[in-house]
């Protein structure tokens, strides 16, 4: 089995693949203070609850936008699975040409999403990931990562209203059903949710327009895919979103693993000394 980690600023999404098929997935809070043992025990409990065996995990792949957790998960992989994890980053084969000014600046999650979406839907594409930040990525018909946009996520906006004002409360992120609201809670919900829908709709239309100008391609042929925890809610108000695919990043990790598993040599059967040294340095 393959264990995949998608580490975001707010949540870690884990997936277990067997014979290239996703058989189980979980979501947990990202905690930079947790040790490898704490994460290991939590994963062990999740596996046990679903009648899975840690010993059946033969490889691990990690995508993270939180550098401080990278070492912790590598330590976890070595100690609990006796293998060094593959980490998405420079030197990893993706099959995608990155047109960013500095390709190293593109978040690993954005590349993983692009690989998965192109594999499933073809190009050209716009991929929207509703995470801590809301990211927009544009992929050409010939599998080129052209660039994108990064906007504050809904939760960040909600937290800012609560933290930077004296009287506004923290609110649940749900649709109030109208924009002419008669109380503070619904007024905030309306601004946060419907306002974000408006941002998404505008950027999609602008990205399609620029894609046609820059490449000469037909923007009407672009497929728009949404992923992330709040994708379902936001997509209800954005007609230009074609697909909601919440597990897109995990599927991308499995695809990237298949492209790289033979390029790293044998990384298992680590010595007891390596495992103990890793534990001492955490």
Q: Sheet holding 133-139: strands in order across?
A: 97-98, 144-152, 133-139, 125-130, 223-228, 243-244
Which of 31, 59, 101, 109 is catalytic? The answer is 109
Could you tell me the two tokens for 63? 């995508």
Residues 6+ apart with CB under 8 A from 277: none
**Alpha-carbon distance values, 273 to 213, 241, 256 (Å):** 58, 51, 30
CB 114 within 8 A of CB 129: no
**109 catalytic, yes or no?**
yes
Gap between the Cα atoms of 163 and 65, Å rounded: 24
In angstroms, the CA 69 to CA 261 distance is: 22
- Token duo for residue 221: 């042929």
DSSP string for residues in 164-191: H-SSPPP------S-SS-SSHHHHHHHH
Tell me whether strands 59-64 and 2-7 are parallel, antiparallel or unpaired: parallel
Q: Is the peptide bond before 7 cis (omega within 30 degrees of 0)?
A: no
Alpha helices by DSSP H, the chain: 36-49, 67-81, 108-121, 154-164, 184-215, 231-235, 248-260, 272-281
Which are the contacts of 281, defined by CB distance < 8 A and separation ≥ 6? none
Catalytic annotation, residues: 109
């Amino acid at each position: 089995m393959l264990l995949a980690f998608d580490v975001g600023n707010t949540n870690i999404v884990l997936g277990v693949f067997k014979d290239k098929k996703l058989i189980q997935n979980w979501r947990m809070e990202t905690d930079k203070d947790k040790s490898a043992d704490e994460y290991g025990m939590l994963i062990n409990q999740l596996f046990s609850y679903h009648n899975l065996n840690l010993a059946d995990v033969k490889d691990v792949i990690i995508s993270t936008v939180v550098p401080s957790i990278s070492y912790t998960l590598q330590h976890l992989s070595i100690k609990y699975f006796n293998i060094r994890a593959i980490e998405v980053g420079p030197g990893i084969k993706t099959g995608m040409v990155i047109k960013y000014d500095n390709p190293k600046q593109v978040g690993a999650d954005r590349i993983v999403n692009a690989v998965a979406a192109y594999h499933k839907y073809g190009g050209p594409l716009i991929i929207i990931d509703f995470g801590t930040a809301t990211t927009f990525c544009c992929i050409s018909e010939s599998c080129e990562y052209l660039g994108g946009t990064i906007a504050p996520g809904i939760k960040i906006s909600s937290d800012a209203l609560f933290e930077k004002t004296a009287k506004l409360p923290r609110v649940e992120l749900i649709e109030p059903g109208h924009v002419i609201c008669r109380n503070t809670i619904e007024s905030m919900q309306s601004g946060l949710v419907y306002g974000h829908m408006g941002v998404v709709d505008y950027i999609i239309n602008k990205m399609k327009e620029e894609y046609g100008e820059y490449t000469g391609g037909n923007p009407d042929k672009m497929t728009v895919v949404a992923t992330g925890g709040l994708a379902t809610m936001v997509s209800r108000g954005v007609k230009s979103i074609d697909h909601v695919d919440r597990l897109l990043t995990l599927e991308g990790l499995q695809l990237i693993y298949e492209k790289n598993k033979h390029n790293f040599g044998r990384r298992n059967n680590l010595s007891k000394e390596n495992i103990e040294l890793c534990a001492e340095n955490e």
